[in-house]
Structure 1
């Protein structure tokens, strides 16, 4: 039973396992100063994206400032139904696209506003870490395309619980809020494409009966 579960959900399990391991290291092995250094190093801010975009994109999803337990639970609520519906490789594609687009669009807007003099130079090194773009996309995809009523309802409950946090500062174009919205849209659109592809692969009732 456990072996079947591990083979069926490697992407959610690996993602949550790495996130949990980093959480353990942050909590048990690093001083407050070292934790701040890790967050600064992993942040997908303008400064880091300019010198190490790929590494920053990857590591930022597994480092969080706080609320690790909540983030882990809600991410699981989104990822497992999506993996069950679409499979692991497509789930990886969905969350990767959402994470990258959420980062690029939100930081791109921040860069434009910085150039226009609407933001201070401190925006370049602003902490920006965590799996929130991943969970935003996964929750929306699970609500829209999840396999069965209860996984969808559970994902919807998780989304509603986090909505005040996810949308906080959106009207003022807060970087995180913009990224969350972009990630949600990406989750919905990529999920729709995957769902449509899945439906096309299924034989029609007439062919199945024949």
Structure 2
């Protein structure tokens, strides 16, 4: 159990925290308190203006519903990504994708608000959940994961969710834009990590192959 926990510390920690928050929401908090937590953790324009870091972290572990589905999909994406890149680089991949998805989608909303295309209510919309993390993990797991079964499972999870995740994209709805950005970020960041990994491996091999001067 020890080596498994160390190897998969990131997904186990993420899933454990998300499940714990789910249990608190479902079993401890009354409805008014649940709504207050969602409002506090939402990565909307109002919260990002006063507490961007805390809001982005909290929003990944709070969801409005379907927590069981999100938990399963998280496992399908996060374990293969961690197996492929390691804990630290997997954190970088999903965290960067979550941040980019949030900032770009909310940035577009702000531009549209200032242009008079949206009402002021966009500033306080509920926007929580780990879906940006899952989008990035599923795409990276399919593109770069080890093993055909794991990659196909990630693809199946992505295909099952993508109609919901991208619903409203043509209308530039915040969630749909964020999901698309997170998917693209997961693919691009995963590719960059893979390129850096191959370069680190290639340099020692090249040095070992070069003849020693004076030999």
Q: CA RMSD in A?
A: 1.5
Structure 2 counterpart of 1:59: 58
Shift of 1:201: 2.5
How many residue pairs get aligned? The number is: 208
TM-score by length of 2: 0.94
1:68-108 deviation per Cα after TM superposition (whole angstroms, max 9, x unaligned): 00001101100000000000000000011000000000000
Structure 1 counterpart of 2:71: 72
Structure 2 counterpart of 1:26: 25
Q: Would you identify which runs of 4 or more consecutive aligned residues in structure 1 move more than 6 Å?
A: none
TM-score by length of 1: 0.96
Structure 1 counterpart of 2:104: 105
Alpha-carbon separation, structure 1, partners of 2:159 and 2:8: 25
Unaligned runs of 5+ in 1: none
Trace 1:1-210 onto structure 2 (pairs within 5 A): 2-203=1-202
Alpha-carbon separation, structure 2, partners of 1:19 and 1:118: 35
What SS does structure 2 have at the residue aligned with 1:192?
helix
Larger radius of gyration: 2
**Counterparts in 2 of 1:32 and 1:54: CA distance versus 1, 3 Å:** same
Alpha-carbon separation, structure 2, partners of 1:207 and 1:170: 51
Alpha-carbon separation, structure 2, partners of 1:22 and 1:166: 22
Unaligned runs of 5+ in 2: none
Alpha-carbon separation, structure 1, partners of 2:208 and 2:163: 48
